[in-house]
Structure 1
Amino acid sequence: MQISAVREAIADAARAVVLPAGVGKLTSSGFVPDDVTEPHFFTAEYSVEYDKAFGRGLDQIELTCRVLVGRADDQAAQKILDALLSGSGPASLKTAIEAARGAPGGAALGGLADDLHVMRVQGYRWYEHAGTQYVGAELVIKVIGDGS
């Protein structure tokens, strides 16, 4: 798997969320941005387990992604964040990203991986990014694919 391409494909999938009226669109990037336009989703740290199958047959990437929401109104920001972190619904990042799994038995992320799974949400808290405070959380995504 090409990690940069996988990260970009996950960011593309995240853009499919539909936020509540008046919130605007989710911006998304496959890298840690210098600056964010909130609400913003981006792929951040990752770890790779190589050789999960014989002959470089399978690698596993665990991506930590972040979603940051502006905090002009702390309660409203947390409601937007909660919608993004929901397990289903039009604003659900889990639903949008897992839609990129493709058809059963088919490749995920447009052929870049064998499969992916949004495993959990963690770190729901205030984040500082480029000197600005945001309410946010992390999503951990497992991606498996050919190691060669």
Structure 2
Amino acid sequence: MQMSAVRDAIADAARAVVLPAAAKLTATGYTPDSVTEPHFFCGEYSIEFDKAMGRGLDTAELTCRVLVGLADDEAAQRLLDAMLSGSGPASLKQAVEAARGAPGEYALGGLAHDLHVMRVQGYRWYEHQGNQYIGAEIIIKIIGEGNA
């Protein structure tokens, strides 16, 4: 798996969410210097190599973050909750998992065998480049070719 391409494809998939009101999600496949909120980005990851013989399969666990501005703390948390929901138009899980493709197809346009949004964690205040946000981490498991 080429993780830079995988991360970019996940950010592209995240942009498909439909947020309430006039909010529009920005998303990057990398940790940005600064964010235009609400913002989703792909952060650190771990890879387990050689899950099948001959470099046939690797698994990665990608930590993504979503940050929402604090102009109104209650509204910010409601928006974040909508994005962390398991389903619905604002659901990041639903948007990212839509990039799995149809049954029998590779995920992320052929970049991976499959992916799964496993969990949300770290729902808290975050500081990013000196600014405060409410946010959470989204953990995504990705399975793909080890020799690609």
Asked if these proteins are the same fold (TM beyond 0.5), I'd say yes
Task: Tell me the residue number matched to 2:15.
Answer: 15
Written as runs of structure 1 = structure 2, the 5 A alignment for 1:72-83 is 72-83=71-82
Paired AA for residue 16 in structure 2 = A
Q: Give CA deviations for 1:87-114 in whole Å, capped at 9, x if unaligned.
A: 0000000000000000111100000000
Paired AA for residue 109 in structure 2 = G
CA distance in 2 between counterparts of 1:26 and 1:147 reads 32
- Stretches of 4+ moved more than 3 A in 1? none
Task: Tell me the residue number matched to 1:99.
Answer: 98
Give, in angstroms, the shift of residue 63 of structure 1: 0.2
Task: Tell me the residue number matched to 1:136.
Answer: 135
CA distance in 2 between counterparts of 1:79 and 1:85 reads 10
Using the size of structure 1 for normalisation, the TM-score is 0.99
Give, in angstroms, the shift of residue 134 of structure 1: 0.0
Give, in angstroms, the shift of residue 21 of structure 1: 1.6
**What value does the CA root-mean-square deviation take over the aligned residues?**
0.4
Give, in angstroms, the shift of residue 64 of structure 1: 0.2
Paired AA for residue 136 in structure 1 = G
Number of matched residues? 147
Written as runs of structure 1 = structure 2, the 5 A alignment for 1:4-83 is 4-22=4-22, 24-83=23-82
5+ long unaligned stretches in structure 2:
none
CA distance in 1 between counterparts of 2:112 and 2:104 reads 12
CA distance in 2 between counterparts of 1:74 and 1:109 reads 34
5+ long unaligned stretches in structure 1:
none
CA distance in 2 between counterparts of 1:146 and 1:33 reads 27
